[in-house]
Amino acid sequence: MSDATYEVIALRYGTRLGAKEEIFLNYGIYGEPDEPLGMDYYCWVARNAERTIMIDTGFGVVGGARRRRTTLLSPVDALARLGVDAATVPQVVITHAHYDHIGNLAAFPAAEVIMARREYEFWTGPFGRRAQFAWSTEESETAHLAEVHAQGRMTLIDKAYSPAPGIEVIPVGGHTPGQAIVLVATADGQAVLASDAAHYYEEIERDRPFAFVADLEAMYRGFDLLKEIASDPGRLIVAGHDPDVMRRFPAVAGIDPGLAVRVGAKP
């Protein structure tokens, strides 16, 4: 494996049972009956012999409990089972600043933190504190982002950016002002970590926006980009919260079944 090719692992650290009516925006317009829909919570690891990069850090104890989410295994403990000490991880990519994506960032004190400038400025500005936006964040975690910035550990990006060979972070907006997707080269093709640019494969395949959206037009544009990317059979699309991720990719040894998959072709 070259220094520009990675093993990508999706860590399933939490779950809940929801319903389509509350998960998809204005679901009633589709004329379909409501039905239960599981929502899983993931963070992602890209690693090779040269480096380990964390993509998002999951929800913390407070953020998960406040919203009655079920924790399966803390992201920090999941990393430890992979032989990775969070305190030594050199880089963390934040796709967006919701509670379930930055909740354990303090456990990565040595890391450079990469995120979209628009995302950082929104959540540390006045509108991120308005009720409809703030529900999806924890004030202490947003404050920690500002601390990381003040420490000089944050890299803010305005366009596509490569934090390391073989990895590209692309801001797309939509779900949040600076929502990003992450492309990672693997031995089986390019992993496309959609994060919350597409919580579910259904969002891309049936053009169905998620209920929480900052910019609907940008969300649709993100769907179009992901559809274009997915048209290449060498790309491996990874939706941000879809339980189907665990069925599409092979399990990872060393972690309990159902908690981690390797983004790649099944044997």
Could you tell me which of 50, 47, 37, 67 has the C-alpha nearest to residue 244? 37
Indicate whether 1 pLDDT > 70. Answer: no
- How much is the pLDDT for 2? 79
Would you say residue 256 lies in a domain? no
Burial environment of residue 257 by CB neighbours within 10 A (0 to 12, 13 to 18, 19 or more):
exposed
Separation between Cα atoms, residue 53 and residue 126, nearest integer Å: 31
Separation between Cα atoms, residue 173 and residue 11, nearest integer Å: 24
Q: Which long-range contacts (CB under 8 A, 24 or more apart) does 216-219 make?
A: 216/25, 216/174, 218/172, 218/173, 218/174, 219/173, 219/174, 219/175
pTM of the predicted model, to two decimals?
0.97
Would you say residue 2 lies in a domain? no
Would you say residue 255 lies in a domain? no
- How much is the pLDDT for 88? 98
Would you say residue 265 lies in a domain? no
Residue 112, domain extent: 7-249
Would you say residue 37 lies in a domain? yes
Would you say residue 260 lies in a domain? no
CATH code: domain of residue 231: 3.60.15.10
Would you say residue 125 lies in a domain? yes
- How much is the pLDDT for 265? 83
Would you say residue 259 lies in a domain? no
Indicate whether 266 pLDDT > 90. Answer: no
- How much is the pLDDT for 267? 65
Which residue(s) pair with 260 in the sheet? Answer: 11
Number of domains in the chain: 1
3-state secondary structure of 139: helix
pLDDT band at 194 (very low <50, low <70, confident <90, very high): very high
